[in-house]
A = this chain, B = another copy of it.
Amino acid sequence: MMAAMPRILITSGPTREFLDPVRFLSNASSGRMGAALAREALRRGYEVVIVSGPVAVDYPPAARVISVVTTDEMLEGCLQVFSDCDGTIAAAAPCDFRPEAISERKIVRSDAGLTLKLRPTPDIIGTLGRLKQSQQWTVAFALETQAGLARAADKLRRKGCDLIVVNDPATLDSPDARVVLLDREGHTRSAEGSKDAVAAAILEEIERRVADWRIR
């Protein structure tokens, strides 16, 4: 059932994948882009649901926030709400690897070191892309250190997204962002500045295209 008021699901922040009760794999995602997207979407009259990993940022009180830790939990949170949303912007940086096993006890430091086997975690935006109904849209983020646009175009297709936001690792824990928006037809638009300004550009592109996406 679609919401009467248009509703956007925003994923935000990092996830954590634990090796033992103390140590985890993660990344420096701050949740600031997710928070900026939430403020901008609310300003434009959307309802906003945020599924967020552990962050220190404050989300707008008008947004509903589902707090998660691991990538599995982030996917589960998204699946709870996605069918009631018009679309999703996947600004989170979920861990895409996790240890094969989690030690129940803190692993003891040893001079011999440690070999850690990692497995891929579930692909959140890819899963939502497969589940989406014809009236729904998905926007992915791609964090690329090289060959950014070619790799992002491939990701856009594989994951069934409508738009992909390509950014640089320097963006992760910064107040500013520099991104390229890439659509399925290969059109690009650059946006740069504060995360608020970049969030506004992303929402503007989504609103400009959403009528097309719905009749595709």
Contacts and interface: CB of A to CB of B under 8 A. Distances in A.
Contacts of A21: 145, 169
Interface in A18-55: 19, 21-28, 54
Contacts of A114: 97, 117-118
Contacts of A109: 96-97, 120, 123
Interface string A50-92: 0000101000000000000000000000000000000000000
A105 B56 CA distance: 27
B56 A56 contact: yes
Copy total for this chain: 2
Contacts of A143: 22, 106
A105 B143 CA distance: 11
A122 to B, nearest CB: 11
B115 A115 contact: yes
A146 to B, nearest CB: 6
B118 A113 contact: yes
15 contacts: A16-B28, A19-B25, A21-B145, A22-B143, A22-B145, A23-B95, A24-B26, A26-B26, A56-B56, A96-B109, A97-B107, A97-B114, A106-B143, A111-B120, A116-B118
